[in-house]
Amino acid sequence: MAASRTDGVSGVMAGEALTGKGLTGKSLSGEALTGGAGPGKALPGRAWLGAARSRRASSGTAWSSRVWSVGLVVATVLTTALTIWLSFSLYDQREAEQRRQDILAAARQSALNFTSLDYRHYDRDSANVLKGATGDFKKQFAAQTEQLTKLVAENKSVSEGQVLDAGIVRSDEHSARVLVVADSKVTNTAAPKGEARTYRLQLDLVQRDGRWLTSDVEFVG
pLDDT of residue 93: 82
pLDDT of residue 181: 98
Distance, CA of 87 to CA of 71 (rounded, Å):
24
List residues bridging with 168 in a β-sheet: 178
Residue 27 pLDDT greater than 90, yes or no: no
Q: Which residues contact 169 (CB under 8 A, 6 or more apart)?
A: 176, 177, 178, 179, 202
Q: What's the average model confidence in pLDDT over 95-119?
A: 96
Residue 20 pLDDT greater than 90, yes or no: no
Q: Are 182 and 198 in contact (CB under 8 A)?
A: yes
pLDDT tens-digit map of 55-67: 555 565 666 677 6
- Ranking 1-5, 36-40, 132-136 by mean pLDDT, the lowest is 1-5
pLDDT band at 11 (very low <50, low <70, confident <90, very high): very low
pLDDT of residue 26: 40
The SS3 assignment for 210 reads: coil
Domains of the chain listed by start with CATH number: 102-219 (3.10.450.540)
Question: Measured in whole angstroms, how far is the alpha carbon of residue 82 from the centre of its chain?
Answer: 6
pLDDT of residue 125: 97
pLDDT of residue 56: 55
Q: Against a cut of 0.75, is the pTM above it? A: no
Q: What's the average model confidence in pLDDT over 124-146?
A: 96
Looking at per-residue pLDDT, the higher value among 73 and 189 belongs to: 189
Q: Which residues contact 179 (CB under 8 A, 6 or more apart)?
A: 166, 167, 169, 200, 201, 202, 203, 220
pLDDT tens-digit map of 144-173: 999 999 999 999 999 999 999 999 999 999
Q: What does the longest C-alpha to C-alpha distance in the chain come to?
A: 172
Tell whether the torsion through CA atoms of 38, 39, 40 and 42 is positive or negative: positive
The beta-strand segments (E) located in 105-210 are 117-118, 158-171, 175-187, 195-208
Q: Are 106 and 205 in contact (CB under 8 A)?
A: yes
Residue 72 pLDDT greater than 60, yes or no: yes
pLDDT of residue 76: 80
Distance, CA of 75 to CA of 69 (rounded, Å):
10
The beta-strand segments (E) located in 5-134 are 117-118
Q: What's the average model confidence in pLDDT over 112-122?
A: 96
